[in-house]
A and B are shown apart, each in its own frame.
Chain A
Amino acid sequence: MKRRLKRRDFLRIMGGVSGSTLVSSCGSGNGPKKFISYILPPEEGILPGEATFSPSTCAECPAGCGVSVKIREGWPIKLEGSPGHPVNDGGLCIRGQSSITRLYHPKRIGSPMLRNGSGKVRRISWEKAFSTVSETLDASRASGRTNLFLSGRTTGSLSGLIGMFCGKVGVKRLPEFEVYSHSEGKEANGLLFGERDVPRYRIENADFLLTVGADILETHVSPVSYTRQLSRAKSKEGFRWYHVEPHLSLTGANADRRIVVRPWQEAVFLSFLLRHLMEKGPRRGEFPREISEALPRMSVERVSEATGIPAGTLQEVADRIAHARRPLVIAGGVSTAHPGGLEVAGAACVIQWVTGAVPDLVDFRRRENYESVGTFRDMEDLTARLGGGEVGVLFLSRTNPVFSLPEEVGFRENLKKAKLSVGIGDLPDETMQEVDLFLPLSHSLESWGDVEPRRGIVSLQKPVLKTLHDTLSEGDMLLRLLHGSAGEGTASGYRDFLFDAWRKRFGESGRSAFLEQGYFEEPLPAKRVSLDGKKAASLLKGAQAGMKPGEPVLVLAPSLRTFDGRSRGLPLLSEIPDPLTTISYGRWLSVSPETAAGAGLKERQEVTVSSSSGWSQVLPVKVQPGLPAGVFVACRDFGESPPLRTEKRTGGTIEYIEKVTIGKTGKMAAIPILSGSPSQQGRGLIPDPVHRDEKQHHGRESLYPEHVHKEYRWAMAIDLALCNGCSACVAACYIENNIPVVGKKDHLKGREMSWLRIEPFYGEAGNVDFLPMLCQQCHSAPCETVCPVYAAYHNPEGLNVQVYNRCVGTRYCSNNCPYKVRRFNWFWHRWEKPLNRMLNPELQARGAGVMEKCTFCIQRIRAAKDKAKDGSRTVRSGEVTTACAESCPTGAITFGNLLDPESRVYRLAHSGRAYRVFEGLGTDPSVYYLSGEKGDPGKKSHG
């Protein structure tokens, strides 16, 4: 019996196997099957298989950076910063790079949706949607209810159109809602200078920069612009940058000197500086009298005691600011988001005034257009109006107050009391899940538009593809609503409306230039502002009051990756780890090493954070070196409705939770912390003079013949004095090279796929160095010699190439790589539709069982060589660059041919600052790192 069964099983299996082999061998050859003709030949300059570029503007955050959209076969596949653009001049941040995934996001809502009485949503047509809105607008007006329009920060022509729409249809426009409204700074500028807005800071012209809480590298107003300017400032001899903050931010980690201040004591510190400037500063004679009188007399010791800053440091900062020729103070971020924030902002204004920074360094002429942004209090008022049942139609455009406002405000419940809430957005976020009518918004790459991120700087948005779904731009929605209700002969569509507006504003030829270039810089007359001494004096009097939070305190910090939470929905931003903690997925609570040691807290341990008001949340612990004791940090968007309060005078938010207590839950959380150690463990990845000697101990003895490079030897130089860990390069690398997003589960197993990662290394003094680690393209590569199938080999141009379809997945190469930059595909990773449209056709998406790695964007090298060959020449210096280098906002990465003595990379690689990681191993890498003190490149040169 038994034998027979076995034989049958055998036959069954054999039948199955042979059958399936036959089926799977059908349709052999995996190339494209169709060969499709054009109807009309394409325009001159457009070739099949070659990318075209179109100018546009990034809409991921309010900064309005110019981008150049790379298009292949009609599909946008990548965004690059637009060189020469007045805002970002070429760089693009991590969020900007990732914003293309918003266009192809699988969860985008594809048609208008209406919620019925029982709470179910169903698709409706645009006609039905517009008629519903129009009818409700009329009905509300008739019944005496008010119709309201709330949006996120809006500039440019759209702002004008919303104003026109509201005026004609009888809708009241509310102050715009932004979590980071910079209320305190604006209020102080309004009081002291009469300009209630954020000025443009010209960092590149300063010789000493003091930032107080303002996270200029992460989210503050226009981070890429600031970063670019900072790089330019750093290239000047003698420039120094100090940063004062109560916690640890990426910005603080990069300053030449980071000064930790006790929370809420920044105003005392700034008053001390002012007093010093009054007594010893170069302009002490011109000091406004009211201010001299108002300034408190405080000894260094007392200030030191209040602020927690050592007396020596206080004296040093004071001397530096007094002796600098062009000092600039910028206050903002968490340092102004507390009850004494207005005084901090006010003191910064006075310092700006007395040091002569206004108007050259603090420019109100090109102000950042934040004047129409409202405050936290405006949202409380709106909630009250909703609660009173006086709201008819409420438009909520590009804003997510249900998520951003604390539960206690009661926005979510009161939203239901509006007769009709109309959400305008792209992803089904918290607010969109509550509204009655959802109007899906086209992506900025699908629609016409313009933004004016700075006064007089207009940046273009131009469609590069047809809408993927049944969506409309906000301008088109409003115009169609206007036509429906008013029936007036306005422009037929938003495009015509814009073209008309642009012609009026720039003239006929100006408009053509604008459409081609993507931006327009209007000349503006100079703006004179003067300080209101009396108001300044009364503000300064308050500064000494010394507001103190109840310790310990939880700081809700802005997030590099998600801004105020708006970018949470983009999967790539969770895949790329936070550069300070190297945590990719999930939320965490940063705890200082002292506090952790005192309370016996371990990394990944779950704790309950609770406030005295009864709010609590469970978060895993991350021990964060450099964080002062008694201060806990969580990202602003991690809080599940944290008990935020309104600052009484400015209406801004207090981003602190006082008197928090920490309780252990006894559980460990599964949270991927990608870095193995916060320290270099003495390996000298970023060398000190001790480790530099190491290379002497190893000879270069090789069993293999020397590699010969005839025309090219590709190499990279990374300036560690400029790199700030912002991770824009990582995002650019993911998108350029079709690197899969693998998710939390694989991250926990150490199976992340990033070809390029940022490694933070903490020094004993609490300083942080960032090391971008990618394939070092070694000359004597340990990976190549162990490959049994010759998939990893050294090419004649000095690259460690991986032939993907030859790789059999032994993983020997990865085991033998001292830099750990090779990544293995454990699975077939799929790009959920329509994300697959984003894939770069110049590269294959690698399959399961294949090792993959960085090859210096070999597809770009190939394209450049192809172009050079057309001209019978070799690739010129600067003609080809990698995706990481192109995206870098600081310009830290230089790529080029090491055999060309004229090239920049040659010069940098042969400079005294150049070193290579693990040089002692004799791998002879092609990636040169330029060491040097941050902010003082070139000064400290190693031999």
Chain B
Amino acid sequence: MGTGEVRKTVTLLAVSAYFGVLLLGTVGLWISWHRAGLSPDQPIAFPHTIHVSKLNLPCNFCHIFVDRSKHAGAPPVEKCMSCHRTIATEREEIRKLTRHYEEKKPIEWNRVYSLPEHVYFSHKRHVKAGVDCKNCHGQVGAMEKIRRVSSLKMGWCVSCHRARGAPRDCATCHK
């Protein structure tokens, strides 16, 4: 092996190692971010399991705007407090909730389902058309920690619109 060839091999190795590490890093980060995006940690560990499966609360008991507005809305803190003034008050998560209420500080939940700015979406229209919450949000009652189950990609929206005969004019959703 001449020095030229050694140098060539070293260079090749160095370049592929550089790009290999880069690629691995990118994939790793992408996976971890994607995972986190699907199911981010919340400021209060709210279990849908208890509220939906055990207590059988309907979705719009807490998400009070879901059949009236574009936005389903996070439940007003007072709604939580209407039960949690007396129930499970000793638990750490409920104490957090009470603090928010007493300090009049809104809870900043981390969004699980978010649409890009150019999309018009109305919960009300979908609920009124008889689309079940499950269709998009999955078996929420089985989720200890809420997790995104649908891609929210345009193809996913359109496939359902097509199946149900809903409008497929671009301007229905594109702002």
Interfacial residues, chain A to chain B (CB-CB below 8 A): 11, 15, 18, 22, 25-26, 28-41, 47-50, 793, 795-797, 799, 801, 803-806, 842-844, 855, 858-859, 862, 866, 869-870
Stretch of B53-61, B84-92, B111-119, B131-139 contacting A (4+ beta carbons < 8 Å)? B111-119
Q: Is the CB of A842 within 8 A of B175?
A: yes
Interfacial residues, chain B to chain A (CB-CB below 8 A): 15, 18-19, 22, 25-26, 29-30, 33, 37, 64-65, 68-71, 73-79, 100-101, 104-112, 114-118, 120, 122, 124-125, 128, 169-171, 174-175
Which residue of the partner chain A has the closest CB to B69?
A47
What's the nearest-Cβ distance from chain B to residue A84, in Å? 28
Which residue of the partner chain B has the closest CB to A47?
B69
Q: Is the CB of A30 within 8 A of B116?
A: yes
Which residues of B have CB within 8 Å of A37?
73-77, 106-107, 109
What's the nearest-Cβ distance from chain A to residue B113, in Å? 9
25 residue pairs of the A-B complex, CB under 8 angstroms, read: A15-B18, A18-B19, A25-B30, A26-B33, A29-B37, A33-B111, A33-B114, A35-B74, A35-B111, A36-B74, A36-B109, A37-B75, A37-B107, A39-B78, A39-B106, A48-B71, A795-B171, A801-B169, A801-B171, A803-B171, A803-B174, A804-B118, A805-B116, A805-B118, A806-B174
Q: Is the CB of A18 within 8 A of B111?
A: no
Which residue of the partner chain B has the closest CB to A804?
B118
Which residues of A have CB within 8 Å of B112?
35
Choice from B26, B37, B114 contacting A32 with Cβ under 8 Å: B114
What's the nearest-Cβ distance from chain B to residue A844, in Å? 4
Which residues of A have CB within 8 Å of B122?
866
Determine the distance from Cα of A22 to Cα of B171 in the docked complex, in whole angstroms: 33
Q: Is the CB of A36 within 8 A of B33?
A: no
Determine the distance from Cα of A11 to Cα of B18 in the docked complex, in whole angstroms: 10
What's the nearest-Cβ distance from chain A to residue B35, in Å? 13
Q: Is the CB of B110 within 8 A of A34?
A: yes
Q: Is the CB of A799 within 8 A of B171?
A: yes
Q: When A18-B22, A801-B171 are in contact, do A39 and B73 touch as well, CB less than 8 Å?
A: no
Q: Is the CB of A47 within 8 A of B65?
A: yes
Determine the distance from Cα of A408 to Cα of B170 in the docked complex, in whole angstroms: 63
Determine the distance from Cα of A18 to Cα of B75 in the docked complex, in whole angstroms: 43
Q: When A48-B71, A50-B69 are in contact, do A35 and B125 touch as well, CB less than 8 Å?
A: no
Q: Is the CB of B125 within 8 A of A869?
A: yes
Q: Is the CB of B76 within 8 A of A41?
A: yes
Determine the distance from Cα of A843 to Cα of B175 in the docked complex, in whole angstroms: 6
Q: Is the CB of B116 within 8 A of A40?
A: no
Which residues of B have CB within 8 Å of A797?
169
Choice from B29, B120, B125, B170 contacting A801 with Cβ under 8 Å: B170
Q: Is the CB of B118 within 8 A of A34?
A: no
Determine the distance from Cα of A212 to Cα of B143 in the docked complex, in whole angstroms: 77
What's the nearest-Cβ distance from chain B to residue A228, in Å? 33
Which residue of the partner chain B has the closest CB to A861?
B171
Best-buried of B19, B74, B104 by chain A (most CB within 10 Å): B74
The 10 closest A-B pairs by CB, nearest first: A31-B114, A38-B76, A37-B74, A49-B70, A47-B69, A35-B109, A41-B76, A844-B118, A48-B71, A35-B111
Which residues of A have CB within 8 Å of B169?
795-797, 801
Q: Is the CB of A41 within 8 A of B118?
A: no
Q: Is the CB of B175 within 8 A of A38?
A: no
Which residues of A have CB within 8 Å of B18?
15
Q: Is the CB of B175 within 8 A of A40?
A: no
Which residues of A have CB within 8 Å of B104?
39
Which residue of the partner chain A has the closest CB to B77?
A39
Determine the distance from Cα of A862 to Cα of B124 in the docked complex, in whole angstroms: 13
Choice from A25, A49, A795 contacting B170 with Cβ under 8 Å: A795
Which residue of the partner chain B has the closest CB to A37?
B74
Determine the distance from Cα of A49 to Cα of B121 in the docked complex, in whole angstroms: 11
Determine the distance from Cα of A11 to Cα of B15 in the docked complex, in whole angstroms: 9
Determine the distance from Cα of A34 to Cα of B110 in the docked complex, in whole angstroms: 5
Q: Is the CB of B116 within 8 A of A29?
A: yes
Q: Is the CB of A41 within 8 A of B70?
A: no
Determine the distance from Cα of A32 to Cα of B112 in the docked complex, in whole angstroms: 10
What's the nearest-Cβ distance from chain A to residue B152, in Å? 9
What's the nearest-Cβ distance from chain A to residue B99, in Å? 12
Q: Is the CB of A49 within 8 A of B69?
A: yes
What's the nearest-Cβ distance from chain B to residue A861, in Å? 9
What's the nearest-Cβ distance from chain B to residue A777, in Å? 12
Q: Is the CB of A859 within 8 A of B175?
A: yes
**Known A34-B110, A803-B170; further 7 A-B contacts with Cβ < 8 A:** A22-B29, A36-B74, A41-B76, A47-B69, A48-B69, A801-B174, A805-B174
Determine the distance from Cα of A35 to Cα of B91 in the docked complex, in whole angstroms: 23
Q: When A48-B69, A859-B175 are in contact, do A32 and B75 touch as well, CB less than 8 Å?
A: no
Q: Is the CB of A31 within 8 A of B111?
A: yes
What's the nearest-Cβ distance from chain A to residue B166, in Å? 12
Q: Is the CB of A39 within 8 A of B101?
A: yes
Which residues of B have CB within 8 Å of A41?
64, 76, 78-79
Which residues of B have CB within 8 Å of A47?
65, 68-69
What's the nearest-Cβ distance from chain B to residue A573, in Å? 27
Which residues of B have CB within 8 Å of A796?
169
What's the nearest-Cβ distance from chain B to residue A811, in Å? 20
Determine the distance from Cα of A627 to Cα of B120 in the docked complex, in whole angstroms: 50
Which residues of A have CB within 8 Å of B15?
11
Which residues of B have CB within 8 Å of A25?
26, 30
What's the nearest-Cβ distance from chain B to residue A394, in Å? 44
What's the nearest-Cβ distance from chain A to residue B75, in Å? 6
Which residue of the partner chain B has the closest CB to A35?
B109
Best-buried of B25, B29, B73 by chain A (most CB within 10 Å): B73
Which residues of B have CB within 8 Å of A804?
118, 174-175
Which residues of A have CB within 8 Å of B30?
25
Determine the distance from Cα of A39 to Cα of B76 in the docked complex, in whole angstroms: 5
Which residue of the partner chain B has the closest CB to A15?
B18
Q: When A29-B116, A32-B114 are in contact, do A38 and B170 touch as well, CB less than 8 Å?
A: no
Which residues of A have CB within 8 Å of B73?
37-38, 48
Which residues of B have CB within 8 Å of A801?
169-171, 174
Determine the distance from Cα of A275 to Cα of B107 in the docked complex, in whole angstroms: 80
Q: When A47-B68, A49-B70, A50-B69 are in contact, do A32 and B106 touch as well, CB less than 8 Å?
A: no
Which residues of B have CB within 8 Å of A40?
76-78
Determine the distance from Cα of A36 to Cα of B117 in the docked complex, in whole angstroms: 17
Determine the distance from Cα of A858 to Cα of B170 in the docked complex, in whole angstroms: 12
Which residue of the partner chain A has the closest CB to B114?
A31
Determine the distance from Cα of A209 to Cα of B143 in the docked complex, in whole angstroms: 75
Which residues of A have CB within 8 Å of B25?
22
Which residues of B have CB within 8 Å of A26?
29, 33
Determine the distance from Cα of A793 to Cα of B169 in the docked complex, in whole angstroms: 10
Which residue of the partner chain A has the closest CB to B101?
A39
What's the nearest-Cβ distance from chain B to residue A602, in Å? 46
Determine the distance from Cα of A36 to Cα of B76 in the docked complex, in whole angstroms: 9
Determine the distance from Cα of A801 to Cα of B30 in the docked complex, in whole angstroms: 35
Choice from B37, B106, B109 contacting A38 with Cβ under 8 Å: B106
Which residues of A have CB within 8 Å of B111?
31-35
What's the nearest-Cβ distance from chain A to residue B154, in Å? 10
Determine the distance from Cα of A148 to Cα of B124 in the docked complex, in whole angstroms: 60
Determine the distance from Cα of A29 to Cα of B111 in the docked complex, in whole angstroms: 12
Determine the distance from Cα of A795 to Cα of B170 in the docked complex, in whole angstroms: 8
Determine the distance from Cα of A793 to Cα of B170 in the docked complex, in whole angstroms: 9
What's the nearest-Cβ distance from chain A to residue B59, in Å? 15
Q: When A39-B101, A49-B69, A842-B175 are in contact, do A34 and B33 touch as well, CB less than 8 Å?
A: no
Which residue of the partner chain A has the closest CB to B123?
A49
Determine the distance from Cα of A30 to Cα of B114 in the docked complex, in whole angstroms: 8
What's the nearest-Cβ distance from chain A to residue B8, in Å? 12
What's the nearest-Cβ distance from chain B to residue A117, in Å? 46
What's the nearest-Cβ distance from chain B to residue A329, in Å? 52
Q: When A41-B78, A48-B71, A858-B171 are in contact, do A31 and B106 touch as well, CB less than 8 Å?
A: no
Determine the distance from Cα of A39 to Cα of B78 in the docked complex, in whole angstroms: 6
Determine the distance from Cα of A799 to Cα of B15 in the docked complex, in whole angstroms: 54
Q: Is the CB of B78 within 8 A of A36?
A: no
Determine the distance from Cα of A796 to Cα of B74 in the docked complex, in whole angstroms: 35
Q: Is the CB of A844 within 8 A of B175?
A: yes
Determine the distance from Cα of A167 to Cα of B16 in the docked complex, in whole angstroms: 87
